[in-house]
Chains A and B, each alone.
Chain A
Amino acid sequence: MDLQPTDDQAALVEMITTFAADRFPIETVRSFGNSDGFARTLWGELAALGTFGISVSEDLGGVGLNFIDAVLVHEALGAALCPGPIVAATLAAGLVNGVIDGSVVPCIIDLGSDGPLAVENFRSSDVLLVVDDAGVGIIESDNVSGTDVVHPTDPTTPITILASLPKTKSIGDAELAKRWRQRGSLLASAQLSGNSSGSTSLAVEYAKEREQFGRPIGSFQGLKHLLADSWIRTEVARSSVWAAGVTIDEPEVGSIDRAVAGSRLTAARAATENAKTCVQVHGGMGFTWEVDAHLFLKRAWVLETQFGSIDDAAEVVAHLYADR
């Protein structure tokens, strides 16, 4: 048992973090949200790092690492609010040609979720992947019609509402659909875990600089306790996310469904609560468009709906405990 990153894994996270800070600063993240803002060059750079094919075997063109490594990468990308369909690309890598090298950009819809046929990042995609209980299908995005949401709640995640369910070509059966839902859910949770840590860093920085009553507001216990709680929520979320990643690699150690659903609960709570705290710590400025705090909150709201709701996850964990 060893639930701490190895030196190689720490170096991987460091590399992704540095890359994201350099190539995806927040201004770039914001521009990805514009209809013409998605930059294929940047997407290609992300692909060239091995981001999407990280846990795909080398003979299929991937990096050949484990799924936990993909989880760590998504955590680091989530902290930087990295834009674009990175979960879809990681799922499709190795199965859909061109995804690993970034030349084909996929987007995804899971029909297990209720509500509108909303697809993230549809307009910049080449192919749409459709997941339902029976399997996974694919269709070229140009052959799908939909209406772009004018004001997506998360300004850095463009949303398109499909006019109808397209007919797709099957690329996998129910087994693949189940696998994608588990892995997609966990990758989104990994981003939520990273998101929770990113908003905490932003809030802590501000609390050290901002002065009121003649001293930094971070010296007040009222804020200290809020921020300590944020840090703790991240550590709790990260613990379940890491354990779930390892459980996917080593299924004999526990229930993947329980670990994945549990991760969604702890990571979604960490991201949404920490982002709320981040807005609150920024005071009035946190209520403005210009300060980045709201971007963490709104991205968290997007991620927490992907591949199942919070309530679904709670039901899964409850039943797996009860039916032990």
Chain B
Amino acid sequence: MHLRDSDSDADFRSEVREWLRSAVASMPTPPSPDDWPGRRSYDAQWQRMLFDAGYAGINWPAEHGGRGATPTEHLIFLEESAAAKAPDVGVGFVGQMHAGPTIIAEGTNAQKAHHLRGILTGDHVWCQGFSEPGSGSDLASLRTRAFRDGDDYVVSGQKIWTSHAVAADYCEMLVRTDPNEPKHKGISWLIMPMNLPCIDVRPLVTVHGSTEFAELFLDEVRVPVANLVGAENDGWRVANVTLSFERGTGFVGELLDTTNVFQELIEMAKSTIRTGRAIWADDSIRREVGIIGADLDALWAFTKRNVSQGARGGLAMGSGSGFKVAFATTQHRLGDLALRVLDRASLSMDDLGGQPTGVLVHSKLHAFAISLGGGTTQIQQNIIAERVLGLPRER
């Protein structure tokens, strides 16, 4: 086992570091979080720079326009990007992390030709239409219907938690094409252009005020049959193929953000005086910092274990679920500590007194995104209990 970079990884790291230094300096000031046209064009500008430099689709296979980097190189790229304060993937998230890899694995040649390059250059933005108001943890119970009518599917239903829908050109969507089959067997995976008529996008504001999500209301939207990815009624499997692409880097960006917030919290605890002494002088605060710090270091090591497994072909069962639950627990614990340190400075969602107080409040609320999004903590616990520990299913 090693933690040091191999010679080639060290070369890659210094090459990336050098490129990032000038590239990041050339970027304009980021737009405000709710300025979606501004965010889209900012993210596209950065993505284009990555594309021109050969870093777009870093973990995508080279034959599909990616860099074909190893999982370790991917991790290095993310670490260096964070250190350089480079923009994150932004509105490119669904396209680069999910829709693109799905099309690579299951799409037709025409679909690949039409979609992959746009995702890599940043010209095409994707959103995800999987969850429904009645289908959260039990996603396979989804009811958005698609009837075949000539060369089109006629799609009606409602989707929720559609990230970046306001800015998106395409939606990767799961629809029910056969209601008579068992729930996992009647689902299909469709590419839905967002400029089609009869799509109503309504923003869904989160507890921390983010406008990144929306609900989609679909009323007989005509999606060409040519936009079916994989076979009809095979969409559940298609939606899960990206799991096999996961190489342990999925949460690196979030973990880097959390580590930065943690450092800011420590600085605040050291510089804030309460009842005559620095908050940092309080043993219980400091020891809680120590425990959270140990957990963050452990989560980094956990990430490196997963990336190392990924480099050998794929994650072990439960590794992704286990990481996510542990990360969510730490994120909540950090948020709880932040509220203790902030005390009444937590009453504003915006920063107060030149301190990152608002950032810390946001971080606490964002912890729910980790413990709920992409399969709740309880669903992950079920997965581990049944598929790793081999405990019997409930029914």
Give the B-binding residues of A (Cβ under 8 A). Answer: 1-6, 9, 68, 200, 204, 207-208, 215-216, 218-221, 223-225, 227-229, 231-232, 235-237, 239-240, 242-243, 245-247, 250, 252-254, 258-259, 261-263, 265-266, 311, 313-322, 324
14 contacting pairs across A/B (C-beta < 8 A)? A1-B304, A2-B2, A2-B308, A5-B1, A220-B394, A228-B382, A228-B388, A229-B325, A250-B2, A314-B289, A318-B293, A321-B266, A321-B289, A322-B289
Which residues of chain B come closer than 8 Å to A263, judged between CB atoms? 294
Determine if A1 and B308 form an interchain contact, defined as CB atoms under 8 angstroms apart: yes
Determine if A204 and B391 form an interchain contact, defined as CB atoms under 8 angstroms apart: yes
Which residues of chain A come closer than 8 Å to B266, judged between CB atoms? 321-322
> What CA separation (Å) do A254 and B304 show in the bound complex?
14
> What CA separation (Å) do A103 and B309 show in the bound complex?
40
Determine if B301 and A218 form an interchain contact, defined as CB atoms under 8 angstroms apart: no
Determine if B384 and A243 form an interchain contact, defined as CB atoms under 8 angstroms apart: no
Which residues of chain A come closer than 8 Å to B75, judged between CB atoms? 1
Report the stretch among B3-11, B29-37, B112-120, B129-137 that lies at the interface: B3-11
> What CA separation (Å) do A265 and B291 show in the bound complex?
7
Determine if B385 and A247 form an interchain contact, defined as CB atoms under 8 angstroms apart: no
Which residues of chain A come closer than 8 Å to B308, judged between CB atoms? 1-4
Determine if A3 and B301 form an interchain contact, defined as CB atoms under 8 angstroms apart: yes
Which residues of chain A come closer than 8 Å to B301, judged between CB atoms? 3, 239-240, 242-243
> What CA separation (Å) do A245 and B2 show in the bound complex?
10
Closest Cβ–Cβ distance, residue A101 to chain B (whole Å)? 28
Which of A207, A216, A223, A250 sits near B3, CB closer than 8 Å?
Answer: A250
Q: Closest residue to B309 on the A side, CB-wise?
A: A4
Determine if B382 and A232 form an interchain contact, defined as CB atoms under 8 angstroms apart: no
Determine if B4 and A236 form an interchain contact, defined as CB atoms under 8 angstroms apart: no
Determine if B302 and A227 form an interchain contact, defined as CB atoms under 8 angstroms apart: no
> What CA separation (Å) do A56 and B356 show in the bound complex?
49
Number of A-B contacts (CB under 8 A): 186
Determine if A239 and B305 form an interchain contact, defined as CB atoms under 8 angstroms apart: yes
Q: Closest residue to B383 on the A side, CB-wise?
A: A228
Q: How many residues of B contact A (CB 8 A)?
A: 56
Determine if A243 and B325 form an interchain contact, defined as CB atoms under 8 angstroms apart: no
Determine if B381 and A229 form an interchain contact, defined as CB atoms under 8 angstroms apart: yes
Interface residue B66 (Cβ < 8 Å from any Cβ of A): no
Determine if B294 and A266 form an interchain contact, defined as CB atoms under 8 angstroms apart: yes
Which residues of chain A come closer than 8 Å to B286, judged between CB atoms? 314-315, 318-319
> What CA separation (Å) do A242 and B307 show in the bound complex?
14
Determine if A4 and B305 form an interchain contact, defined as CB atoms under 8 angstroms apart: yes
Determine if A318 and B287 form an interchain contact, defined as CB atoms under 8 angstroms apart: yes
Determine if A262 and B294 form an interchain contact, defined as CB atoms under 8 angstroms apart: yes
A225-B378, A266-B295, A322-B266 known; A243 vs B290 contact (CB < 8 Å): no
Closest Cβ–Cβ distance, residue A254 to chain B (whole Å)? 7
Determine if A240 and B384 form an interchain contact, defined as CB atoms under 8 angstroms apart: no
Which residues of chain B come closer than 8 Å to A208, judged between CB atoms? 390-392
Which residues of chain A come closer than 8 Å to B391, judged between CB atoms? 204, 207-208, 216, 218-219, 223-224, 227
Interface positions, chain B 361-395, Cβ under 8 Å from A, are 378, 380-382, 384-386, 388-394
Please encode chain B, from 231 to 252, with 1 for each CB lying within 8 Å of some chain A CB and 0 for all others: 0000000000000000000000
Interface residue B297 (Cβ < 8 Å from any Cβ of A): yes
Interface residue B322 (Cβ < 8 Å from any Cβ of A): yes
Determine if A259 and B394 form an interchain contact, defined as CB atoms under 8 angstroms apart: no
Closest Cβ–Cβ distance, residue B308 to chain A (whole Å)? 4
Interface residue B318 (Cβ < 8 Å from any Cβ of A): yes
Determine if B1 and A246 form an interchain contact, defined as CB atoms under 8 angstroms apart: yes
Determine if B392 and A216 form an interchain contact, defined as CB atoms under 8 angstroms apart: yes
Which of B262, B287, B302, B311 sits near A235, CB closer than 8 Å?
Answer: B302
> What CA separation (Å) do A224 and B386 show in the bound complex?
8
Q: Closest residue to A316 on the B side, CB-wise?
A: B290
Interface residue B312 (Cβ < 8 Å from any Cβ of A): yes
Which residues of chain B come closer than 8 Å to A316, judged between CB atoms? 290
Among all A-B residue pairs, the 9 with the closest Cβ atoms: A314-B290, A224-B385, A262-B294, A243-B301, A318-B290, A228-B381, A239-B301, A240-B298, A218-B391
Interface residue B280 (Cβ < 8 Å from any Cβ of A): yes
Closest Cβ–Cβ distance, residue A186 to chain B (whole Å)? 13
Which residues of chain A come closer than 8 Å to B297, judged between CB atoms? 240, 243, 258-259, 262, 317
Determine if B382 and A224 form an interchain contact, defined as CB atoms under 8 angstroms apart: yes
Interface residue B340 (Cβ < 8 Å from any Cβ of A): no
Determine if B290 and A4 form an interchain contact, defined as CB atoms under 8 angstroms apart: no
Which residues of chain A come closer than 8 Å to B339, judged between CB atoms? none
Known A3-B301, A224-B381, A232-B322; 7 more pairs at CB < 8 Å: A216-B391, A228-B388, A239-B305, A253-B4, A262-B293, A262-B298, A266-B298
Interface residue B78 (Cβ < 8 Å from any Cβ of A): no
Determine if A235 and B4 form an interchain contact, defined as CB atoms under 8 angstroms apart: no
Determine if B1 and A204 form an interchain contact, defined as CB atoms under 8 angstroms apart: no
Which of B262, B287, B298 sits near A237, CB closer than 8 Å?
Answer: B298
Q: Closest residue to B310 on the A side, CB-wise?
A: A4
> What CA separation (Å) do A311 and B287 show in the bound complex?
7
Interface residue B263 (Cβ < 8 Å from any Cβ of A): yes
Which residues of chain A come closer than 8 Å to B380, judged between CB atoms? 228
Interface residue B163 (Cβ < 8 Å from any Cβ of A): no
Closest Cβ–Cβ distance, residue B31 to chain A (whole Å)? 31
> What CA separation (Å) do A245 and B293 show in the bound complex?
18
Closest Cβ–Cβ distance, residue B69 to chain A (whole Å)? 14
Interface residue B299 (Cβ < 8 Å from any Cβ of A): yes
Q: Closest residue to B300 on the A side, CB-wise?
A: A243
Interface residue B270 (Cβ < 8 Å from any Cβ of A): yes
Which of B1, B263, B318 sits near A324, CB closer than 8 Å?
Answer: B263
Which of B290, B298, B392 sits near A239, CB closer than 8 Å?
Answer: B298
Closest Cβ–Cβ distance, residue B3 to chain A (whole Å)? 4
